[in-house]
Amino acid sequence: MAKIKLEYIWLDGYQPTANLRSKTKVEEHENFKGTLDEIGMWSFDGSSTQQAEGGSSDCLLKPVAIYPDPVRRNGYLVMTEVLNADGTPHPSNGRATIDDDDNDFWFGFEQEYFLWDPETNLPLGFPRDQTPQGQFYCSVGGKNAFGREIIEKHADLCIDAGLNFEGINAEVAAGQWEFQLFAKGAKLAGDEIWISRYLLERLTEEYGLAINWHPKPLGATDWNGSGMHANFSNEVLRTCGSKETYEKICEAFRPVVKEHIAVYGADNDQRLTGEHETQSINEFSYGISDRGASIRIPIITVEKGWKGWLEDRRPASNGDPYKIAGRIIKTVKSAKI
């Protein structure tokens, strides 16, 4: 019998932005294969996470995905959904709102963020002079790229954990980075984003740094904010071969702008100003290869005869991928194609 460390990970009830929480359960297993069937439900004190009252504080953790922990010996990362004591989804449970049980929807998220120095309360390597943004994008060298060691380690951790990790790059602002993940299935895509965020947060503990997920952490400046662009498709988008179908789906987003913005991340109005390759939060647009549009139709989709995907550029870096995917799916299905 071997002792297995199971790190149960969940989202708390803080508003407007949930935080990651986790705790370790040590169990004895013989020939543990790392599957959900081998582990059970757990509970936690919801009164400490703004998810329950003290007089009835138990909330349940339902395992929904499991990955090998790339750091801990005999360790596994267990992504969970939060349930009420009666087994119903907790109001904070965005995963339970996703209507994609057949995994028809595929999502690729582009997660931007800042490496943050708590001592200066600025991004790591933030220039003290008047260096304009731009030279830091996909940059190399000690004058431009800050924190590469952390970024490379994070990529290795995600890959070793079995996530479908697709890439990394330095972003437009100093200390700003991005990674990309793709999954066939909206729930799986959300699971992998949250596990990758967890691995990044845990990694920064070794460096005395923090991750700033805010969409505009540098306030009213000319420095870029951070988004989490959502690339999405379903069978129709992947195979239709019809410009008219794409336009009908895009148009389905127009009357529900407020509903999307409501779940695309807090303080996103500070980022969606109409500048820095964003559309204004008060407007909606779509266009081929247009990074200033709300929804971009990738040029490769057009070149392949209108068979591919769409990119919603509005989600903020601090958005919940479960809620973002759930809302996108609802809108695409409303087009009734």
- The strand order across the sheet containing 2-11 reads 20-29, 2-11, 75-83, 58-68, 42-45
Per-run averaged pLDDT (10 residues), the chain, 337 residues: 96 97 96 97 97 89 98 98 96 97 97 96 84 86 94 98 98 95 98 98 97 93 92 98 98 97 96 80 93 95 98 98 98 94
Q: Residue 26's pLDDT is what?
A: 98
106-117 and 210-212 beta bridge pairing:
antiparallel
User: Taking a C-beta distance cutoff of 8 angstroms, is the pair 155, 179 a contact?
Assistant: yes
Q: Residue 337's pLDDT is what?
A: 85
User: Taking a C-beta distance cutoff of 8 angstroms, is the pair 232, 250 a contact?
Assistant: no
Q: Residue 129's pLDDT is what?
A: 67
Tell me the H-state helices in the chain: 148-160, 186-204, 235-239, 243-253, 257-261, 299-303, 321-334
User: Taking a C-beta distance cutoff of 8 angstroms, is the pair 318, 266 a contact?
Assistant: yes
What pTM was estimated for this model as a whole?
A: 0.96
CA distances from 275 to 88, 208, 215, 272, 297 (A): 42, 33, 14, 7, 19
Question: What is the Cα–Cα distance from 209 to 220, expressed in whole angstroms?
Answer: 23
Positive or negative: CA dihedral 183, 146, 20, 261: negative
Domains of the chain: residue spans and CATH: 2-91 (3.10.20.70), 106-334 (3.30.590.10)
